[in-house]
Structure 1
Amino acid sequence: MNGDGSRARTALPIGGRNGRDSAEPAAADRGRAALARGRRQLFDGPVGDARASLLLAASLLAADAPDRAEVARLSAADAAWATGDVTLCLSTLDGTDTPGRAGGYAGLGTVPAKASADQDGASTTGRDTDHPPSPDTTDVTVPPTESRPPEPPGGPGPGPRWARDAFVRDYRDGMRALLARHPDRAAGPLRRVLDQARTDGRTDRLLRAAAAALLLGDVHAARAAGARALAAARDADCPAAEARALEYLAYGELRAGCHAQARTHAEEGVRAALAAGYRNTAASHHAMLALAASIEGDTATVARHASVALTTARRHGLAQTATLAEWATARADLARGRPLDAYDRLGPLVGPGPRRGHFAVWMLALPCYVEAAVLAGHPQDASTVLADLAQWAAFGVDPHAPAQLARCRALLAPDDRVGDLYLRALALHDERGGDFERARTELLYGRWLRRRRHLREARSRLGAALVGFERCGAGAWADQARGELRANGAASVTEAAGGLSRLTPQQLRIVRYVAEGATNREVAQRLAVSTRTVDYHLRNVFAALGVRSRMELARLVDQESR
């Protein structure tokens, strides 16, 4: 414009023959920067922003670095999963989305299973903190009643061609099939992911394998892959990968019913996530700690961990983490005998509409909702979700669902069918394992029997429930079983022994005299106290031990002395 011909000539190559050579490195550099930024946001920022950055990275790296472009797109799918948007997740996996589309998140009432990991082939040690492994998903899939986007041509078979690596392609195709509600088509690709990971010790591949196992409902394989990923991350001295490996491992242990081990690993996970600066991962661990505490019935601990998880989840759009935390809070309400509170909390999570929980989690909360609704006096609401639970059980990825379905049907059945349904549920529990869920079924069955005056059988069922709860450390649930046993007319031997050990020395002396047959007056004379004092202590003893007669008290003392 100023007539300087030399400047004009030097400016021409920018748009001329060499312009493409200059633009490609610039695009690749921008793509790597977007990948690093998106991966960081995935673990420590709004996941909608992470997805947009990762899709941009995938488009910029596609020509010059296709392997990294695969990493970016799969990580973008992880971000879409975290938002709880099924349509967004499928479009990202199909490669039909664009970098400009923002990821929303459908309903914050949801929580974590996990299903993703890094596929960056350039890093095999887990030390690459600029490109950390990707997040996780759950062993749960799209609810049967949820609307889904149209499948790409040919259905969820061989997918779009953006995935050139066989491992990445199998993982993507398996996840797509599950999201499109074709578990039969998902099994093959996801099993190949597990097979390939057995000979591949890279942390990112092992994390993907743990996610694949959870998607298949194979908690044993998920725990094994998670443990291997944890060992590899610790060997590489990488807190970021360690935090994520602990996340998969803790979730697999929760699904397997190993709640104490899950709590230990989640506590370690919080420390590792905070050391890596991964607030999203730390929030997921807090949600799992809340779930573990809800088994124990520790409402204060549940509230503390759920509050931390929900604070980050709401700020960063973590629908899965939020759902888990809400579910944990509701289950703690059930444990403490507050079914109406649980019913109020779970209703929005499992009902239709924008407040429904994360698609990978809300089905897991259905058994709690049915129980809460029935106990709170709203059986009609419980009936409306029973079909969803039946379809979920038929889906085949949750080993506990068939037994839980039979239990829920028993809660809603007419009297002439209740017993058979509870027995069916118990038989299914025996096939699948899990002390906690079996004990919950025994408790509900025993309560039903007691209220119909089948006291001997009720005593057997309630005693089995108490043993099961005590075995898995479910203190508040065990208290419910003890209360039902007291109402049934007998305190458990375990409770009696524990109760006697808590008596004061004076109370214990009175108890032993009474057990020997002494009257209150005789006890007062032996101890040089008034009969009113003996009466007072005995009332407190009866309340503490849950007994209603001197004969029951004598029997308990005799049982302890054996």
Structure 2
Amino acid sequence: MTGQTTAESPCRIYGRTPELAAVAALSDRLRAGYTGALVFVAEPGLGRSALLAGAARQFRPGPVLRPRPLPRDPRPYDGLRALLCAAAEVRGAAPPRIAFGAGRPDGTSELTSLLRRFLPGSVEKEPLLVCVDDAHLWDAPSRAALGLAARHPDPRLPLGLLLSMAEHRAADTEFTGLPVLRFGPLDDGAASALLRELTGEHLNPAVGAELLSEAEGNPAVLAALARRLTPGQLGGHRPLPRPLVDGAALWATFGSPLEPLPAPTRQLLLLAAAAHESDPSAAGADASLVLRAARAAGLGPAALDPAEAARLVHHDGDRITFAGSLLRRTVYTGAPSSHRRAAHALLASAVAADRHPLRRLLHLALAAQGPDAALAARLDAAAAPGTPTSGMERSAALARAAELTPQEDARTARLTAAADYARLAGHTRRARRLLAATRDGASPDTVHGRAELLRGSLALRDGPVGDAYQALLMAAERLDHCDAEAAAEARMEAMDAAWAAGDPVDCLAALTETRSPSPPSSPTPPPQDPRRDYRAGLRTALVGQLAEAESPLRRVLDLAREDDDPVRLLRAGVAALVLGDIAAACRTNARALAVSRSRGLASLTPRILEHLAYAELRAGRHARARAHAQEGLHAAHRAGQRNVAAGQHAILALVASVEHDAAAVAAHAGAALEIARPHGLLQAVTLAEWASARADLCRGRPFEAAARLGPLTRPGPGRGHFAVRMLALPCFVEAAVQSGASSEAKAAVEEFALWAAQGADPQAPAQLARCRALVAPPDDTADALYELALDRHEAVHGDFERARTQLLYGKWLRRRRRPAEAKNRLRDALVSFERCGAPVWAEQTRAELRATGDAPAPVPAGGLAVLTPQQLRIARCVAEGATNREVALILSVSPRTVDHHLRNVFAVLGVRSRTELARLVDRAERSGAQP
């Protein structure tokens, strides 16, 4: 996101970095005495006018001409007349009377000639910028003059042309060959920032998320929403209107290219838009259906030609696709309700009822004028599971059936089912809208229980997980006596919510078997029931009895080898992680992902990708973890699952702490914490803080690392997630030792030893030996422990952890004045870091090698390059704010040695204070000039 403002600008420009850079480049070209042109092309409402206005305000090299908009049907040369009127305003004179249309003997554009005549002298002394908004609406001769001036500039006139036009007119011949910059909707960050500016600080987050989804990144639609809603609606205190954006607001933004179309074309477009209502997620409308309905209305296929010529739709033979969903919504909602019902009646008559019974019934229902219980029942039956149709088509059908249903109980049940289908299809916000329309009346427990189950499932993926936990337990209580299967699923999801929150007590409560008897229709669980084994195994593991948990969890894994249910496979992956079988976790989650992709389960795929990325991370395969987490992050955003996105950001932060610099870690960790803290996602918080601490360690900042990890790894209230804190404990031990907190480090090592003995983490035995070496007394005990750690690393995969042990061992050997051995260990560490793609850690290893004399120091070239390796390390520590004593602890030297080196650093660099030194180091690192 980029924001730029001036004292004159009423609103910042968000998310237009490339466009603003292009305008700046054009200004620089004009300032240098050259000509230039740039055409902004975008759909309506995306900010073409705002960009032109901002460019005009910020142009300083010379005058700016901004002609006023032309009338709807301009006369020939009205555009040039408007431009001369703008020039007259600049000069403070009356516009001249000029005869247009005379040819130019020198072949120059009429525009250039007129400007030279009417602005003599000034245009030759300083550059001129001409900004024309909606240039496609100018008359043809004026458009031709603009295009000729841009293609054949007058070298005596440093003229810049900045034009904007709609996407459907970008191919006009008058502007052929001009440099074009197309831009699309705002990204989520820029749209959110704009919405905050438009609505103030009292916007309810859930309302904001819905407004962003409705606007689809279009600034004009966002502005219309902000104007339409009251403060109570924006704050979430009053219900939102439906639809959020009415037809009049959409038509005001997107109607201009539709108005000139012939009536038959607009009627056919309405048929296409109405056909799309049966499945809003489909890629266009069924062309054969639309054209059959059009023929019934007396319209031939040629009626679509004007819309295609204007690039409003694309017809590829099978589908009719609108240029954008907002344009499609404009066509549909902008038509009178009677026209919409007539379009659906035509489509219903054209649908092959034997092949698409649900689609025909849905169009009949959309053509109905009032409640119709019989039609609603037929729609409900046709949308039953197992019918060959998409989830979103089922959702649309059940939502319409609910609208036609007069009975409150049946209406609520159908709305809940429609919301559930929308959730499964990955349309979380649509699911929330449908669910919000249900009312908690005197409906049976099965209806309310299913609605509460859905609310909890949605909150689990996008909301405070504490709320999700309570909603899911309430759903289980209501469903226990009427739907044991749904009640069991509600408790499993409640356990997932408690797990994300890091609350083992609530996990156990959710996993406790209900004492309510199963209804007679419920079959007796088979001898090998993976869900029963999963519950039993997790309960046992959560109370610390991993040995007893292995048998039931291993049965879950064994059954997963042949399973094709993605939910059961996902839970089998969790079982594998609890057992410490990382390879099985990767394998099982990969199988779940394949099944989910093949079935198009857009709601489940982001979560599976999160679990798979985490398993790959635990396996030490950081590149694979990054690839899956990045894909999962995009999928989570598409599905509206912010909690899953937070987990993906936390995983990417951990990967970045290996592969990238501190800035990348901070970006992902910050994004994770922004969601995780208010939503109570302790697991994501712990992973993100661990990533930041590991980045601190890599940068030689052990005090900061220890401060981050201390509260998360110590026993007691406020500690980190129960399933993650032990994984981060070796990092804390390293940071604590380097920062002088030896007693805390020793206590942490003893706790880690108990964890390692349970066998839940393959890396733990090697890490334990490394930690014992770090806290060992200054004798040869540490030597044997480092050797033991390296031996144990050989038994498991994980180049990064082995390289960290080699690096710490090499540092220890160098400080024991055993440089030859230190070089060997450090070279091994360097190779391992390079192999696993950890360049920042590799650079730290190279610095240690230089300190042993293994690598020649760079030729002094001024700046930090004149320092010795030890002086450079001390300078960087001091620049980070460390005291002499803290530097001594970090580098394992005496404070007196640090003081001696620091005096030499000051003398060599010519600085007189620690502040000057910090500034010098910061400048050197920003410019990349450090050795």
How does the TM-score come out when normalised to structure 2?
0.44
Does residue 260 in structure 1 map to residue 260 in structure 2? no
Q: What pairs up with 1:162-561 in 2 under 5 angstroms?
A: 166-414=529-777, 415-491=779-855
- The letter for the 2-side match of 1:240 is S
Deviations 1:246-282 (A, max 9, x none): 1111001100000011011100000001111111000
1:296, CA displacement in angstroms? 2.2
Cα distance in 2 between the residues matched to 1:376 and 1:462:
22
Deviations 1:57-79 (A, max 9, x none): 11111122111111011111111
Equivalent residue number for residue 449 of structure 2: 31
Does residue 66 in structure 1 map to residue 484 in structure 2? yes
1:416, CA displacement in angstroms? 2.2
Cα distance in 2 between the residues matched to 1:251 and 1:536:
45
Cα distance in 1 between the residues matched to 2:607 and 2:583:
18
Equivalent residue number for residue 518 of structure 1: none
Cα distance in 2 between the residues matched to 1:65 and 1:164:
21
The answer to which structure has the higher helix fraction is: 1
Asked if structure 2 preserves the Cα contact closer than 8 Å seen for 1:91 and 1:97, the reply is no
Asked if structure 2 preserves the Cα contact closer than 8 Å seen for 1:163 and 1:169, the reply is no
Q: Per the alignment, do residues 86 and 491 of structure 1 end up closer, same or farther by CA in structure 2, a change over 3 Å counting?
A: same
Q: Figure out how many residues of one structure are paired with residues of the other and give that number.
A: 423
- The letter for the 1-side match of 2:530 is F
Cα distance in 2 between the residues matched to 1:198 and 1:454:
52
Cα distance in 2 between the residues matched to 1:164 and 1:56:
29
- The letter for the 2-side match of 1:78 is D
Cα distance in 1 between the residues matched to 2:625 and 2:536:
29
Q: What pairs up with 1:59-138 in 2 under 5 angstroms?
A: 59-95=477-513
- The letter for the 2-side match of 1:448 is W
Q: Secondary structure at the match of 2:564?
A: coil
Q: Secondary structure at the match of 2:444?
A: helix
Deviations 1:478-500 (A, max 9, x none): 111111100001129xxx9xx9x
Cα distance in 1 between the residues matched to 2:627 and 2:866:
37
1:163, CA displacement in angstroms? 11
Cα distance in 1 between the residues matched to 2:862 and 2:678:
55
Cα distance in 2 between the residues matched to 1:236 and 1:212:
24
1:215, CA displacement in angstroms? 1.2
Asked if structure 2 preserves the Cα contact closer than 8 Å seen for 1:297 and 1:335, the reply is no
Asked if structure 2 preserves the Cα contact closer than 8 Å seen for 1:95 and 1:162, the reply is no
Cα distance in 2 between the residues matched to 1:313 and 1:97:
34
Cα distance in 1 between the residues matched to 2:649 and 2:470:
26
Q: Per the alignment, do residues 84 and 96 of structure 1 end up closer, same or farther by CA in structure 2, a change over 3 Å counting?
A: farther
Asked if structure 2 preserves the Cα contact closer than 8 Å seen for 1:206 and 1:226, the reply is yes
Cα distance in 2 between the residues matched to 1:393 and 1:96:
34
Asked if structure 2 preserves the Cα contact closer than 8 Å seen for 1:297 and 1:477, the reply is no
- Decide which moves more: 186-195 or 286-295: 186-195
Q: Secondary structure at the match of 1:232?
A: helix
1:432, CA displacement in angstroms? 1.4
Asked if structure 2 preserves the Cα contact closer than 8 Å seen for 1:50 and 1:76, the reply is yes
Q: Per the alignment, do residues 78 and 165 of structure 1 end up closer, same or farther by CA in structure 2, a change over 3 Å counting?
A: farther
Q: Per the alignment, do residues 97 and 246 of structure 1 end up closer, same or farther by CA in structure 2, a change over 3 Å counting?
A: farther
Cα distance in 2 between the residues matched to 1:278 and 1:539:
47
Deviations 1:333-373 (A, max 9, x none): 01111111101111111112222101111111110011001
Q: Secondary structure at the match of 2:485?
A: helix
Deviations 1:503-551 (A, max 9, x none): xxxxxxxx9xxxxxxxxxxxxxxxxxxxxxxx8589959989x99xxxx
Does residue 57 in structure 1 map to residue 57 in structure 2? no
1:96, CA displacement in angstroms? 7.2
User: Higher RCO, 1 or 2 (CA under 8 Å, sep at least 6)?
Assistant: 1
Cα distance in 2 between the residues matched to 1:227 and 1:260:
15
Cα distance in 2 between the residues matched to 1:536 and 1:27:
79
Q: Secondary structure at the match of 2:795?
A: helix
Q: Per the alignment, do residues 417 and 64 of structure 1 end up closer, same or farther by CA in structure 2, a change over 3 Å counting?
A: same
Q: Per the alignment, do residues 371 and 163 of structure 1 end up closer, same or farther by CA in structure 2, a change over 3 Å counting?
A: farther
Q: Per the alignment, do residues 198 and 332 of structure 1 end up closer, same or farther by CA in structure 2, a change over 3 Å counting?
A: same
Cα distance in 1 between the residues matched to 2:568 and 2:510:
20
Deviations 1:422-473 (A, max 9, x none): 0000000011121111111111111111111111111100100111111111
- Decide which moves more: 324-333 or 164-173: 164-173
Q: Per the alignment, do residues 29 and 447 of structure 1 end up closer, same or farther by CA in structure 2, a change over 3 Å counting?
A: same
Cα distance in 2 between the residues matched to 1:539 and 1:358:
42
Equivalent residue number for residue 43 of structure 1: 461
How does the TM-score come out when normalised to structure 1?
0.72
1:24, CA displacement in angstroms? 11
Q: Per the alignment, do residues 445 and 204 of structure 1 end up closer, same or farther by CA in structure 2, a change over 3 Å counting?
A: same
Cα distance in 2 between the residues matched to 1:294 and 1:46:
27
**Runs of 4+ in structure 1 displaced over 3 angstroms?**
95-98, 161-165, 535-544
Percent identical across equivalent pairs? 55
Unmatched segments (≥5 aa) in structure 1: 1-22, 99-160, 500-510, 512-534, 548-562
Cα distance in 2 between the residues matched to 1:295 and 1:308:
18
Cα distance in 2 between the residues matched to 1:276 and 1:165:
34
Cα distance in 2 between the residues matched to 1:274 and 1:164:
40
1:40, CA displacement in angstroms? 0.7
1:198, CA displacement in angstroms? 1.6
- The letter for the 2-side match of 1:281 is V
Q: Per the alignment, do residues 405 and 418 of structure 1 end up closer, same or farther by CA in structure 2, a change over 3 Å counting?
A: same
Unmatched segments (≥5 aa) in structure 2: 1-440, 517-523, 873-931
1:234, CA displacement in angstroms? 1.1
Asked if structure 2 preserves the Cα contact closer than 8 Å seen for 1:426 and 1:441, the reply is yes
Equivalent residue number for residue 897 of structure 2: none
Equivalent residue number for residue 901 of structure 2: none
- Decide which moves more: 27-36 or 162-171: 162-171
Q: Per the alignment, do residues 83 and 165 of structure 1 end up closer, same or farther by CA in structure 2, a change over 3 Å counting?
A: farther
Cα distance in 2 between the residues matched to 1:425 and 1:63:
55
